[in-house]
């Protein structure tokens, strides 16, 4: 098994990561970092030829966002209402395989002599390029150059160009293109963050199609019942004889080529995946054939051009430029690139905690989407943000069903973790109990409507979700004898504290949620009576409900400790014993791998930002002094064992003037995966932390806050940087913010005009005066 301490040092380059040695030690990790994806297909960065290194140093995974197998969850001691079915992202057939034989010797970089080796993942072309020179044990020397892409323009497609040049011989080579369906998922073992509990193969062979340059493997998942077609078409430049072979679920096209010394042979492979999650079963094969035929007719170079165009547009909207810190510049672009590679954009899929780069957290979607990842897409690519919201709307019927299972007569309760909408959390104290997921979703809808002004969305979908989810607070809360509204027996964001009464974050977010739901209802009733009647009928809204929501919100109990003058994480948190940090050895972190949950729950110790997150999301409800005191208190008891933590601490540190801390926490987030600081990047990237980097710049250093649709900035420049710059979509305009020394330049790049605040001063940009520079 790969050591947790592995990290790979890449040259600090602004637009790529580059590896210059073939390393078995870091191979598992590199597979994640060099993974390619397009929000649907994910190919780990394993080499086309496979890998013969030591056991446990590779996971040659291929994933399809939203394509899952399901399995029953078995509880030896069951209880009513526990999640019954797990869904997990499957490792699907590996269609990228290309083996190379020089006469009778198989190319393997771990045999013979590797003279040179370089692999580059380029964030502007989206192409993974590998070049090497190698001499076989019997002295045949070749140059190999391969390029791989997963198309951003065509969801179902990936392509590889593989070129071999014999350098010191003429004779025969063989290129074997394969689709390997004998694949299975990684087993989870003791780490809850790793893989799924399933063992063995989930995909069963249904049929195959094979012709000289084409193969398709047709399989069905055993329990979820989906049909999957994995197909590839190959194209070889040169004179070759082609044969086919198949051994159960592994198919090959074998090209035998007569080669001349110094002359290159090029194999191009187009691969695709189609499943019955997207289309009718009868269409899958013909769709695959059509996609591959179109791609082959265009050719690999044309696909690269499409890829570059897509990325040029993406960077044009999403790029964050930082000068003065190359490590950071590389980290932030790497993160944004991986976010784009990970995010589902068809309205039926979302973004999982590890994207499509690995099996950690089983491909599940969490609140990570709404609270961490959503802002990045909302302000950079609002059309993608909207797709994430569409996904939640599609899950509303199942969320209603889940609410009934949880004995709520009304409303909808979203699952803590899921793929297709059912609750998949088998450990309810840190799963289902996190009811804040409902408020998190409502929060993202509010943010979306305020940033885009898209009222149609609210009328069509948003209002229904917000009202249905708000009702759950009325189902689980109650007034106490002093008339305060209490929410008991929930878990807040901090997973080192569970099943508590009045978690500050939950209550404060529930209050926002209830007020938002009531405001929507009141405004519609007053301004759009027909829409109001339609939506009220849809959710069977009682006319008294909005007033009840307002009252519960107004009376919401928000725990505050008068002696410490801080917000209490919940009713009991501050009365617990503080964790003995001084006597906890370094190797006992993360605590979750070394202590029974109850041991952790008995103490004041946080895995991640909880109250501190509320300080960010509900920024205007706190004074700066509140924020500073809360930060100081909770920082001292937080382990940051969750990768979701540091970015939030960085942002609040920046706001309260702790510039050194803001910078350090930010650095931890920005290169969390590149430097493998959590020691588990080999199981997949951490998408929430990646997006947390973007928040760290916009919310943290630039001090951006959006309160009720009004935007304000309070920029500061970390002393390590010369300048930074980012762009944002707001109210239909595109704004560029550039912070340079003491000055900030705001430029309106698109749109008629935009108004916002800069350090309390109103700024208005218009087409006539699109640029303002302020101190
Ligand atoms: C965190 C959760 C998060 C999950 C998936 C856990 O370690 O505590 O807040 O949703 O990881 O990223």
Question: How confident is the model over 406-411, as a mean pLDDT?
Answer: 97
Say how many Å lie between the CA of residue 461 and the centre of ligand 1.
Answer: 27
pLDDT classification of 239: cutoffs 50, 70, 90: confident
pLDDT of the residue at 698: 98
- State the pLDDT at residue 708: 84
pLDDT band for 8, please (50, 70, 90 cuts): low
Averaged pLDDT score across all residues of the chain: 96
What pLDDT was estimated at residue 343?
98
The pLDDT-based confidence of 196 (bands split at 50, 70, 90) is low
Q: Which CATH number fits domain 319-701: 3.30.360.10, 3.90.230.10, 1.50.10.10, 2.40.440.10?
A: 1.50.10.10
Nearest CA to ligand 1 atom 5: 353
Could you tell me which CATH number the domain at 702-775 has?
2.60.420.10
CA angle 409, 411, 412 (to 5 degrees): 120
Q: Is 152 in the pocket of ligand 1 (CB under 6 A)?
A: no
Examine domains 319-701 and 702-775 and report if their fold is the same: no
Predicted local distance difference test score (pLDDT) of residue 2: 46
CB of 639 shorter than 6 A to ligand 1: no
CA of 353 to the centre of ligand 1 (A): 8
C-beta of 368 in contact with ligand 1 (< 6 A): yes
Stretch 448-466: mean pLDDT: 96
Q: What is the pLDDT of residue 1?
A: 40
What is the model's pLDDT at position 303?
98
pLDDT in tens, 36-48: 999 999 999 999 9
| Model pLDDT, residue 198 | 65
Q: Using the predicted structure, report yes or no on whether residue 63 has a pLDDT greater than 50.
A: yes
- Mean pLDDT over 282-301 rounds to 98
Three-state secondary structure call for residue 292: helix
Domain range annotation of the chain: 34-51+68-314, 319-701, 702-775
Rounded Cα gap, residues 99 and 95, in angstroms: 12
Q: Side-chain half-sphere of 276: how many Cα atoms within 13 Å?
A: 13
Catalytically active residues, by annotation: 495
Q: How crowded is residue 421: how many other Cβ atoms within 10 Å of its Cβ?
A: 20
Whole-angstrom CA distances from 182 to 175, 185, 396 are 20, 11, 36
Provide the pLDDT for residue 709: 86
pLDDT reported for residue 517:
98
Locate tokens 């009733």: which residue? 525
Q: Which two tokens stand for residue 351?
A: 């973004």
644 CA distance to ligand 1 middle (Å): 7
- Bridge partners of residue 216, in order along the sequence: 209, 231
- Dump pLDDT digits (tens) for 86-141: 999 999 999 999 999 999 999 999 999 999 999 999 999 999 999 999 999 999 99
- Bond from prior residue into 590 cis (ω within 30 degrees of 0): yes
Instruction: Give the range among 29-33, 164-168, 321-325 with minimum mean pLDDT.
Output: 321-325
Distance CA 445, CA 465 (A): 9
> Tell me, what's the pLDDT at 3?
45
* Range of weakest confidence among 198-212, 536-550, 585-599: 198-212
Domain 34-51+68-314 has CATH 1.10.1040.10: no
Q: What is the DSSP string of 694-731?
A: HHIIIIIIT--EEETTEEEE-----TT-SEEEEEEEET
pLDDT at 10: 84
Of all protein residues, the one whose alpha carbon is nearest to atom 1 of ligand 1 is 642
| Mean pLDDT of all residues in 568-596 | 98
Question: Which band of pLDDT confidence, cut at 50, 70 and 90, is reported for residue 646?
Answer: very high
pLDDT band at 355 (very low <50, low <70, confident <90, very high): very high
Lowest mean pLDDT among 138-152, 186-200, 323-337, 528-542: 186-200
Residue 762's contacts (CB-CB under 8 Å, 6 or more residues apart) are: 755, 756
């Amino acid at each position: 098994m790969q050591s947790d301490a592995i990290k790979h040092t890449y040259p600090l380059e602004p637009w790529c990561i580059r590896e210059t040695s073939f390393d078995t030690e870091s191979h598992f990790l590199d597979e994640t970092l060099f993974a390619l994806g397009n929000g649907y297909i994910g190919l780990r960065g394993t080499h086309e030829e496979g890998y013969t290194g030591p056991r446990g140093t590779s996971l040659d995974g291929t994933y399809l966002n939203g394509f899952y197998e399901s399995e029953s969850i078995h509880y030896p001691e069951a209880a009513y209402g526990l999640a019954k079915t797990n869904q997990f992202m499957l490792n699907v057939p590996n269609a990228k395989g290309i083996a190379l034989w020089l006469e009778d010797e198989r190319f393997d970089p771990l045999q013979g002599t590797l003279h040179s080796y370089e692999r580059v993942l380029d964030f502007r072309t989206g192409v993974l390029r590998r070049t090497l020179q190698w001499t076989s044990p019997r002295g045949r020397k070749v140059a190999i150059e391969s390029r791989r892409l997963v198309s951003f323009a065509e969801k179902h497609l990936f392509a590889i160009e593989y070129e071999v040049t014999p350098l010191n011989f003429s004779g025969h080579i063989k290129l074997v293109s394969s689709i390997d369906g004998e694949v299975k998922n990684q087993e989870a073992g003791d780490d809850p963050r790793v893989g799924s509990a399933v063992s063995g193969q989930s995909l069963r062979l249904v049929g195959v199609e094979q012709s000289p340059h084409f193969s398709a493997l047709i399989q069905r998942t055993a329990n979820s019942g989906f049909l999957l077609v994995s197909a590839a078409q190959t194209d070889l430049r040169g004179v070759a004889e082609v044969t086919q072979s198949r051994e159960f679920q592994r198919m090959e096209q074998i090209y035998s080529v007569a080669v001349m010394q110094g002359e290159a042979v090029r194999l191009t492979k187009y691969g695709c995946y189609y499943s019955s999650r997207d289309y009718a079963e009868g269409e899958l094969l013909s769709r695959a054939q059509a996609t591959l035929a179109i791609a082959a007719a265009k050719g690999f170079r044309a696909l690269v051009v499409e890829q570059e165009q897509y990325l040029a547009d993406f960077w044009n909207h999403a790029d964050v430029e930082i000068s003065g810190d190359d490590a950071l510049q590389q980290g932030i672009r790497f993160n944004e690139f991986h976010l784009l590679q990970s995010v589902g954009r068809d309205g039926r899929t979302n973004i999982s905690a590890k994207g499509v780069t690995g099996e950690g957290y089983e491909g599940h979607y969490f609140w990570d989407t709404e609270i961490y990842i959503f802002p990045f897409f909302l302000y950079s690519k609002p059309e993608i943000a909207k797709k994430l919201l569409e996904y939640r709307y599609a899950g509303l019927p199942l969320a209603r069903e889940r609410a009934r299972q949880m004995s709520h007569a009304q409303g909808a309760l979203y699952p803590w973790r899921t793929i297709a909408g059912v609750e998949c959390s088998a450990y309810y104290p840190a799963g289902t109990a996190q009811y804040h997921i409902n408020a998190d979703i409502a929060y993202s809808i509010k943010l979306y409507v305020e940033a885009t002004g898209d009222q149609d969305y609210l009328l069509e979908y948003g209002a229904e979700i917000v009202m249905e989810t708000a009702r759950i607070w009325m189902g689980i809360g109650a007034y106490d004898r002093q008339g305060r509204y209490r929410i008991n027996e929930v878990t807040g964001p901090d997973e080192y504290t569970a099943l508590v009464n009045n978690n500050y974050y939950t209550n404060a977010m529930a209050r926002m949620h209830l007020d938002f739901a009531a405001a929507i209802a009141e405004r519609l009733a007053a301004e759009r009576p027909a829409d109001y009647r339609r939506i009220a009928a849809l959710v069977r809204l009682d006319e008294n409900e909005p007033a009840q929501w307002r009252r519960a919100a107004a009376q919401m109990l928000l725990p505050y400790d008068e002696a410490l003058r801080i917000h209490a994480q919940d009713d009991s948190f501050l009365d617990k014993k503080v964790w003995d940090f001084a006597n906890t050895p370094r190797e006992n972190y993360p605590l979750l791998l070394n202590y029974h949950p109850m041991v952790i729950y008995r103490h004041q110790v946080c895995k991640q930002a909880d109250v501190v997150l509320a300080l960010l999301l509900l920024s205007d409800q706190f004074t700066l002094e509140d924020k500073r005191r809360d930060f100081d208190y909770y920082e001292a008891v937080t382990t940051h064992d969750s990768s979701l933590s540091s970015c939030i601490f960085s942002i609040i540190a920046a706001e309260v003037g702790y510039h050194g801390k803001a910078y350090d926490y930010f650095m931890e987030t920005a290169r969390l995966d590149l430097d493998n600081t959590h020691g588990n990047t080999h199981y997949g990237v951490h998408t929430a932390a990646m997006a947390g980097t973007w928040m760290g710049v916009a919310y943290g250093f630039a001090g951006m806050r959006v309160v009720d649709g009004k935007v304000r900035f309070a920029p500061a420049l970390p002393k390590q940087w010369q300048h930074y710059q980012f762009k944002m979509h707001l109210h239909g305009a595109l704004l560029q913010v550039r912070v340079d020394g003491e000055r900030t330049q705001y430029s309106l790049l698109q749109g008629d005009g935009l108004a916002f605040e800069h350090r309390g001063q109103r700024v208005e940009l218009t087409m006539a005066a699109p640029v303002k520079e302020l101190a």
